[in-house]
């Protein structure tokens, strides 16, 4: 859907409001191509075209929300939207006043366009398959346009459109031994893809060596940015939202209370200024460019969405309680010195399936997965069979943190559960003196 069609639709809806009614309309639109690969061949391929309209009807201190899919035909879409508005009008007399109703009353506008037109997906996938000949490659190609819009009866008018591609794949040597890679972004470059394929081939040479099986215990380790991302994903799961803090459910409870700290080199921020996410919240507030969450190892601020802001009397600084553009500050270990600084221990390319083992102590469990190696004397020696870790982030980001890499990697989320994600993380790798392997 075009911004013109969306704003015309919302103008018609706003024009039909009566009395004290107010209306916030949101739009989520996706035009995506998905190609699933296995054994370097196409397993499943197709296209998805979908648009969803969200309405929040406000009358005095009451509100009710609804959503429906749109067709792209203006007349049909107006009829659906009016029907949805009618259902909300029927509902709203039966819901009580909402003390936490909180919408921006200062209208503003924005229009952001990110990214170039992605390459033809048929040609890009054919190029990948050719480059990867001989590899047991498995993964997903996703590309296309994502648009988000917001319009209110108060005058908010926002549009955020991004065009991108995300190739997320791994190449298997045998069994569960594999090397993972991604190539995602806004501007396609076939040479960059070729370079990644070559790096994969080199990684597989080491994967072919006889694997080591480690015993449970504590091991010195380097965690690459993708592995660090699994840990910061855990912090994002309830770690930073204001409600979680005020109701004492945050896994950072001991950090907030001053019982524990992270290493002073750990600073975590939400960086909306990265521009991959809309700068507006669903209620029409402006998301700040940066919110510092952890500053020098200590709790700094929470993410505060509109509802929590009203409940707890804080200013709005986020669309929701979980970071969507998280950044961890880099450190002073150049990438070129990672193996030398590790010397002997575990190089962890990726972690997998993390969950809270004990949130009260910020303790996380999960598995090693792709690209995990045993290192001796600063040299990659052998792949390591998958191991379960169970350790507290107060250790991994605290007392056992030896350093962070200078270079950081921008990881664009490949998640597609609710449409293609525009979340991202900017992360260094970390060197730790020990990680507890449990099984």
Partner 1 sequence: MDQLHTIAHRFTARAPACDYWTLRLVAEESEHLSVRQGVVEPSTLDSSLGAMVTVAVGGGIGYGATSDLSPAGLQAATEQALGWAETHARLGLFDAALYPRSNLHAEYRSPVARSWENLPLADKIALLQDANRALQLNERIVDWAAWLAYRRVTQLLVTSEGGRIAQTLDYLSPGLVAVANAGSQTQRRHGGGADWSQQGGLERLAYLDLVADASRVGEEAIALLEAPECPEGRRDLILLPSQMVLQIHESIGHPLELDRILGDERNYAGTSFVTPEMFGTYRYGSKLLNVTFDPSVPGELASGVADDEGTPATREYLIRAGILERPLGGRLSQARSGLPGTANARASGWDRPAIDRMGNINLEPGPGPKEDTLAQLIGRVERGVLMDTNRSWSIDDSRNKFQFGCELGRLIEDGELRGLVRNPGYRGISAEFWRSLDGVGGPDTREVRGVQNCGKGEPNQAVYVGHAAPPCLFRNVAVFGGGE
For residues 357-376, which are near partner 1 according to CB under 8 A? Answer: 357-361, 363, 365-367, 369
Alpha helices in 24-120 (DSSP H): 74-91
109-114 and 157-174 as β-strands: parallel, antiparallel, unpaired? parallel
DSSP-assigned states of every residue in 198-267: HHHHHHHHHHTSPPB-PPSEEEEEEE-HHHHHHHHHHHHTTSSBHHHHHTT--TTHHHHTTS----TT--
**Looking at 131, 140, 214, 381, which residue binds partner 1 (CB under 8 A)?**
140
For partner 1, which residue of 214, 386, 406, 409 counts as binding (CB under 8 A)? Answer: 386
Report if residue 67 touches partner 1, rule: CB under 8 A: yes
Nearer Cβ to partner 1 (20/76): 76
Which of 255/327 has CB closer to partner 1?
A: 255
Residue 416 binds to partner 1 (criterion: CB under 8 A) = yes
CB of 92 to partner 1, least distance (A): 9
439 contributes a contact to partner 1 by CB under 8 A: yes
61 binds partner 1 (CB under 8 A): no
184 scored as a contact of partner 1 (CB under 8 A): no
Q: For residues 246-285, which are near partner 1 according to CB under 8 A?
A: 247-249, 253-254, 257, 259
**Closer CB to partner 1, 30 or 329, in the complex:** 30
Two structure tokens written together for 97 = 């006043």
Residue 205, interface with partner 1 (CB under 8 A)? no
The answer to the question of residue 395 lying near partner 1 (CB under 8 A) is yes
Give the nearer residue to partner 1 in terms of CB position, either 100 or 111: 100
**Pure H helices in 16-158:** 74-91, 121-131
The nearer residue to partner 1, 387 or 427, going by C-beta atoms, is: 387
In whole angstroms, give the CA distance from residue 14 to residue 23.
Answer: 7
At what angle are helices 190-207 and 121-131 packed, to 10 degrees? 40
Contacts (CB under 8 A) with partner 1, residues 6-25: none
Comparing CA positions, the residue from 336, 335, 324, 283 lying closest to residue 101 is 283
Among 2, 20, 47, 187, binds partner 1 (CB under 8 A): 47
Taking the least distance from each CB to partner 1, the nearer of 44 and 187 is 44
390 binds partner 1, rule: CB under 8 A: yes
Helix or strand or coil: residue 342?
helix
Q: What is the CA radius of gyration of the chain?
A: 24
Judged by CB under 8 A, does residue 199 bind partner 1?
no
Is residue 433 a contact residue for partner 1 (CB under 8 A)?
no
3-state secondary structure of 93: helix
Judged by CB under 8 A, the stretch of 8-16, 43-51, 270-278, 333-341 that binds partner 1 is 43-51
Residues 158-177 that bind partner 1 (CB under 8 A): 168-170, 172, 176
Shortest approach of partner 1 to residue 289 CB, angstroms? 28
Q: What is the DSSP letter of 419?
A: B
In 3-state terms, what secondary structure has residue 40?
coil
Q: What is the dihedral of CA 274, 276, 281, 282, to 10 degrees?
A: -170
The 3-state DSSP class for residue 304 equals coil
């Amino acid at each position: 859907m075009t911004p013109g069609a969306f704003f015309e639709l919302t103008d018609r809806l706003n024009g039909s409001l009566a009395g004290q009614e107010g209306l916030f309309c949101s739009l989520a639109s996706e035009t995506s191509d998905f190609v699933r690969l296995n054994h370097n061949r196409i397993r499943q391929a197709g296209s998805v075209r979908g648009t969803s309209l969200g309405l929040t009807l406000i009358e005095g201190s009451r509100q009710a929300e609804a959503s429906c899919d749109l067709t792209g035909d203006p007349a049909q879409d107006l009829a659906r939207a009016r029907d949805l508005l009618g259902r909300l009008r029927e509902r709203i007399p039966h819901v009580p006043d909402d003390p936490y109703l909180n919408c921006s009353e200062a209208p503003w506008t924005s229009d952001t366009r990110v990214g170039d037109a992605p390459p033809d997906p048929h040609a890009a996938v054919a190029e990948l398959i050719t480059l990867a000949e001989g590899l047991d490659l498995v993964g997903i190609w996703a590309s296309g346009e994502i648009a988000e819009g917001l319009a209110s009866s108060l005058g908010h008018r926002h549009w955020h459109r991004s065009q991108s591609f995300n190739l997320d794949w791994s190449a298997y040597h045998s069994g569960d031994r594999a090397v993972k890679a991604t190539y995602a972004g806004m501007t396609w470059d076939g040479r960059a893809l070729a370079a990644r394929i070559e790096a994969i081939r080199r990684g597989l040479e080491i994967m072919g060596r006889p694997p080591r099986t480690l015993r449970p215990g504590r091991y010195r380790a380097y965690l690459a940015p993708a592995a660090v991302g699994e840990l910061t994903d855990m912090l994002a799961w309830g770690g930073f939202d204001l409600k979680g803090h005020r109701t004492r459910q945050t896994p950072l409870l001991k950090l907030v209370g001053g019982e524990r700290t992270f290493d002073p080199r750990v600073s975590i921020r939400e960086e909306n200024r990265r521009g991959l996410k809309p700068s507006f919240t669903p209620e029409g507030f402006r998301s700040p460019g940066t919110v510092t969450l952890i500053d020098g190892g200590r709790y700094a601020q929470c993410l505060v969405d509109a509802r929590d802001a009203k409940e707890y009397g804080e200013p709005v600084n986020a669309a929701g309680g979980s970071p969507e553009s998280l950044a961890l500050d880099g450190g002073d270990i150049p990438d070129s010195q990672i193996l030398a600084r590790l010397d002997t221990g575990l190089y962890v390319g990726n972690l997998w399936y993390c969950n809270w083992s004990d949130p009260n102590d910020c303790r996380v469990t999960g598995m090693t997965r792709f690209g995990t190696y045993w290192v001796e004397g600063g040299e990659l020696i052998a792949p390591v069979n998958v191991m379960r870790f169970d350790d507290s982030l107060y250790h991994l980001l605290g007392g056992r943190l030896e350093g962070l890499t200078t270079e950081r990697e921008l990881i664009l989320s490949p998640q597609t559960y609710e449409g293609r994600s525009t979340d991202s993380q900017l992360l260094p790798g970390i060197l730790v003196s020990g990680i507890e392997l449990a099984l």
